Chain A
Amino acid sequence: MSLLQVKGLRRDYGALRAVDDVTFELEAGTILGFIGPNGAGKSTTMRIIATLDTPTAGEVLLDGQSVVDSPDKARPLIGYMPDRYGTYDDVTVWEFLDFFARAYGLKGAVRHKRVASVMEFTGLNPLKDKLTSALSKGMKQRVALGRTLLHDPKLLILDEPADGLDPRARIELRELLRALADQGKAVLISSHILTELAEICDTCAIIEQGKLLATGKVADLLAQSQLGTGTELVMRLAAVAEGEAAYERAERVLLEQPRVGQVSRETGQLRVRLELEQGATREQVDEAAARLLAALVGAGVPVCAFSHRELNLEDAFMTVTKGRVA
């Protein structure tokens, strides 16, 4: 049984339906990326799972128990990090973690050891006596992550944790999250930085206007979004006298070829989506690309750059969503 089960979740604010029939599951030891444009319902869904809000309809089961019916029992299993880190001024890193450890009911030596182990895990030991107000954004974010780990929750809910972090801090966060998943924790993470999510998430869920549009592994999302096997050819034509006509000729030639799904023109580039069988090998992709290139050159199209690009989460997201808000 999955650690987290969200079934038919709905949340209305008056006439506005912020979350509409959202259903997904999350296994222990996995990371689920929650993707959606601003106002899609990500934070509302996360707040409901974190027991900070109640759904209009639907159910959230955590470890088999209803979060909606028994929020008090669910809270110890949840570590929630909102999009704002929530640190205090005039408090050192150690004092901050010690305070939350006290708030979680940890006592005496157990508390001290727990705070020490969290500080070690998050690499905060050198900053132990530094005021949290003097920390960089990346370090504050580590402190916030440390706070969510103090009571050893089974489920971590992280709302935009990578927002505003520099590349180094993002990589470090990614490593921390992977380590947590390896320890058996389930991680639900929302982010706008899709490349970031694609690298750390085992599965992704795309939400827009409160509705869950697609869910699964990145490859499954590409399949669900009808993007084919996930290969796209990108080419640029030499600036010759015929100009626009060359692009039109290239498009005509390409569309006559087998296994060509979609041809589009973007900022002086031609993008060609290949329609290969599910599980096509690299060799098959290369062969199809070579055939296309030969056809283009044969037709006198002045190709000056030709490469292929793996389709990624960003492509799936852009295809599945329409940029609308609830």
Chain B
Amino acid sequence: MSEHVETVAPATLSERLGDRINPLVVKEIRQGLRTRVFWVCFGLMLLACVLLSLMAYADVKDGGYRARGNTYFFAYFVCLGLVHFFVIPYSAYRSLAREREDETWVLLALTGLGPRRILRGKVTSFLAQAALYASAVGPFLLFSYYLNGIDLPTILIVLVLGAAWLVFLTVLGVCAATLADGRLGRAFVHFLVLGMLAGGVAQGLGGAFALGEGGSRLMREKEFFYVIGIALWLMLSYGWLLFEAAAARLSLVTEDYSRGPRRALVVQVLVSAGVVAALWWSQGQNREVATAAGVVGCLHLTLSGLFVISDVDGQARALRATTRAWSLFRPGAVRGFRLMVLMIAGWSFFCAVLGWNSDDTRNNWRSLTYVIFAAAAYPILYFAVAILVGRMPRSDRMSSPAAVRVLFVSLAGLGSVLPPLLALLVDEKADNGLINLLNPIVGLVAFGQHEYSKDEPKMTVELLYFLCGVAALAAFAADRTLVEREQRVHAS
């Protein structure tokens, strides 16, 4: 049994092609086509489309011109959308969740396929099933064009956006399946996924309805294509980020699990920088574009960064030899924290540069610049404080990744609520700038405010320097703490 077979007949072309396909795709499609869900959904969807077509025929058979295409297009799209935006992502979620519940995931991980290839196989197989559904509905969608009332570019745009939405929701489902381990957590995630997908269906169908009704009119607007482009970019880039995050969560500790999500985040931010620069340029070098991008970008980096900075301390022995001091994509909280500090600071600096080079000479230009820096300083400060509280004590009680995230949210919450209360206690206004200097919400708003009566920003530049200085000191202390903990973990 253990002997290797040395002499084998040459493989046929189909076999060679079959060998090149991701094994997960083969397995999932074999499994998927045997499930009752597939055939029931496929049958019902096809039946609904046929019935709708008969209705359409009855509706237009007298030969008079009626613009019914958009209505029937949407009706057909509802049939497809329910499957694409709910059944497929939910099946993808269940498929991976079962792999984890049944612990078959471990067996897959040991084959050497790697989590990214396994996830890619999962997503691809469900997209292949989605393509089968789409192939059935495709002729009906095209048929709606002949019913008048909808043009081909609109159909194309709806299908492209629908496909991107399908990919995003499928990846979201797969990512959600990696979230919880315990039974209670899994039940919670299950309901969360159902809720998210219900929302996804509503959004997808709502968008399709809006485009179907007013697509040809909207297409005459210049901004329409910007919106479409940004929507596509957001769906695909967040889909990629979620995919990499899921792969990281499923990786073994001996694997370089952090490289994928951190690289995806950096690429997303770099491309977004290009998009923001292009938008800023096209809008006549508008300072408000730079400020809005600065604040929104920092908010996005805060949410994503929360998962990066709360990585575990140190890394598996197998990875240490090839990790350099500035290998920021490698596992370990210290490198995650440094990466996020650099990215947040870099993003804020980039947006500030755009702001400085803006053409408009409004009075509030200083406030608009201050708020960009403040938007970077607050997350850095609260990241650092959460790390210091969670990981500076020698006890490991609050040092887990989840504990650090909870600490961040709690501290940011306290930092937002307590200063206004304190201000009221000392008979000051709740939004007093000085008392709310470290308040991530009121403080940020205050830095963006301009007092037109005095023609100066509400917050002085010295307060901004102070905030940035505190954030820098806290970041330094957090960095040292993480370095010390990593050394301790590696020494043991």
Greatest chain B CB density within 10 A among A51, A120, A185 is at: A51
CB of B107 within 8 A of CB of A100, answer yes
Across-interface contacts of B15 in A (CB, < 8 A):
108-109
With A54-B317, A84-B103 given, is the CB distance from A109 to B11 under 8 Å? yes
Give the chain A neighbours of B27 by CB distance below 8 A.
88, 91, 95, 99
A205-B2 Cα distance, complex, nearest whole Å: 27
Interface residues of A in 203-241 (CB under 8 A from B): none
Q: Which residues of B contact A53 (CB under 8 A)?
A: 253
Is A34 located at the chain interface by the 8 A CB criterion?
no
B263 interface residue (CB < 8 Å to A): no
Query: Cβ of A100 and Cβ of B5 under 8 Å apart?
Result: no
Q: Say yes or no for B327: interface residue by CB 8 A criterion.
A: no
Q: Does A82 contact B (CB under 8 A)?
A: yes
B135 interfacial contact with A, CB 8 Å: no
Interface residues of A in 87-117 (CB under 8 A from B): 87-91, 95, 99-100, 102-105, 107-111, 113-114, 117
Q: Contact between A152 and B2 (Cβ–Cβ < 8 Å)?
A: yes
Asked, given contacts A90-B31, A118-B1, A121-B1, whether A52 binds B110 with beta carbons under 8 Å apart, the answer is yes
A184-B8 in contact given A70-B318, A90-B35, A99-B27 (Cβ < 8 Å): no
Query: Interface segment, A71-79, A193-201, A295-303, A315-323?
Result: A71-79
Q: Chain B 87-114, CB within 8 Å of chain A: the 1/0 string?
A: 0000000000000001110111111110
Contact A109 B111 (CB under 8 A): no
Residues of A within 8 A of B253 (CB): 53-54
A89 to B24, CA, bound (A): 14
Categorize the interface residue count of chain A. 35 or more
Contact of A108 with B8 in the complex, beta carbons under 8 Å? yes
Let me know if A99 and B1 touch, CB within 8 A: no
Nearest A-chain residue to B109, judged by Cβ:
A52
Closest to A151 in B: B111
CB-defined contacts of A76 to chain B, threshold 8 Å: 112
Q: Does A50 contact B (CB under 8 A)?
A: yes
Residues of A within 8 A of B222 (CB): none
- Least CB separation from A179: chain B residue: B1
Closest to A10 in B: B492
Question: Which residues of B are found within 8 Å of A110, using beta-carbon distances?
Answer: 5, 8
Report B385 CB to chain A, min CB distance, Å.
Answer: 23
Check if B8 sits within 8 Å of A109, measured CB to CB.
Answer: yes
Give B106-136 as 1s and 0s: 1 = Cβ < 8 Å from A's Cβ atoms. Answer: 1111111100000000000000000000000
Closest beta carbon of chain B to A95's beta carbon, Å = 6
Interface residues of A in 48-84 (CB under 8 A from B): 50-54, 56-57, 68-72, 75-76, 78, 80, 82, 84
A219 vs chain B, min Cβ distance (A)? 30
| A105 to B23 CA separation, bound complex (whole angstroms) | 9
Residue among B109, B110, B111, B253 having the largest count of chain A Cβ atoms under 10 Å: B110
The minimal Cβ–Cβ distance linking B91 to chain A, given in whole angstroms, is 12
Report the minimum CB–CB distance from A7 to chain B (whole Å): 14
In the docked arrangement, what's the CA distance between A100 and B1, Å? 17
Q: Confirm or deny: B59 has a beta carbon within 8 angstroms of a beta carbon on chain A.
A: no
Q: A53-B253, A113-B8 are in contact. Are A68 and B104 (CB under 8 A)?
A: no
Which residues of chain B (204-230) have a CB below 8 Å from chain A?
none
Q: Cβ of B318 and Cβ of A69 under 8 Å apart?
A: yes
Interface string of B314-358 (1 = CB under 8 A from A): 001110010000000000000000000000000000000000000
A95 close to B107 (CB less than 8 A): no
**Also in contact, A68 and B317, with CB within 8 A (given A54-B253, A57-B492, A88-B104):** yes
Across the interface, name the chain B residue whose C-beta is closest to A47.
B106
Residue A149 is within 8 A (CB to CB) of chain B in the complex: yes
Report the bound CA distance from A87 to B254 in whole Å: 25
Q: CA separation between A57 and B107, bound complex, in Å?
A: 25
A107 to B15, CA, bound (A): 8
Any B CB within 8 A of the CB of A147: yes
* A105 with B112: CB separation less than 8 A: yes
A103 close to B113 (CB less than 8 A): yes
Question: Shortest distance in angstroms between A43's beta carbon and chain B's nearest beta carbon?
Answer: 12
**Does A125 touch B at the CB level, under 8 Å?**
no
Q: Is A257 an interface residue (CB 8 A)?
A: no
CA distance A48 to B206 in the complex (A): 51
Name the residue of chain A whose CB is nearest to the CB of B20: A107
Query: What are the interface flags for B443-466 relative to A under an 8 Å C-beta threshold, 1 for contact and 0 otherwise?
Result: 000000000000000000000000
**Residues of chain A within 8 A of B19, CB atoms compared:** 102, 107-108, 111
Q: Which of A52, A78, A102 has the most CB of B within 10 A?
A: A102
User: Which A residues are in CB contact (< 8 Å) with B107?
Assistant: 80, 82, 86, 100, 147
Nearest opposing residue in chain B for A153, CB measure? B2
Assembly CA distance A119 to B26 (angstroms): 20
Nearest CB of B to A61, in Å: 13
Closest 8 pairs (CB-CB, A-B): A108-B11, A102-B23, A103-B111, A109-B8, A121-B1, A86-B104, A90-B34, A99-B27
Chain B residues with a Cβ under 8 A of chain A: 1-2, 4-5, 8-9, 11, 15-16, 19, 23-24, 26-27, 30-31, 34-35, 102-104, 106-113, 252-254, 316-318, 321, 396, 492
Q: Jot down 18 A-B pairs with beta carbons below 8 A, ordered by A.
A: A15-B396, A51-B110, A68-B317, A78-B110, A80-B107, A82-B106, A86-B106, A88-B31, A91-B31, A102-B26, A103-B113, A108-B19, A110-B5, A118-B1, A149-B1, A152-B2, A183-B1, A185-B2
> Other CB < 8 Å A-B pairs besides A68-B254, A102-B26, A111-B19, 7 of them?
A52-B106, A87-B104, A90-B35, A108-B19, A109-B9, A152-B2, A185-B2
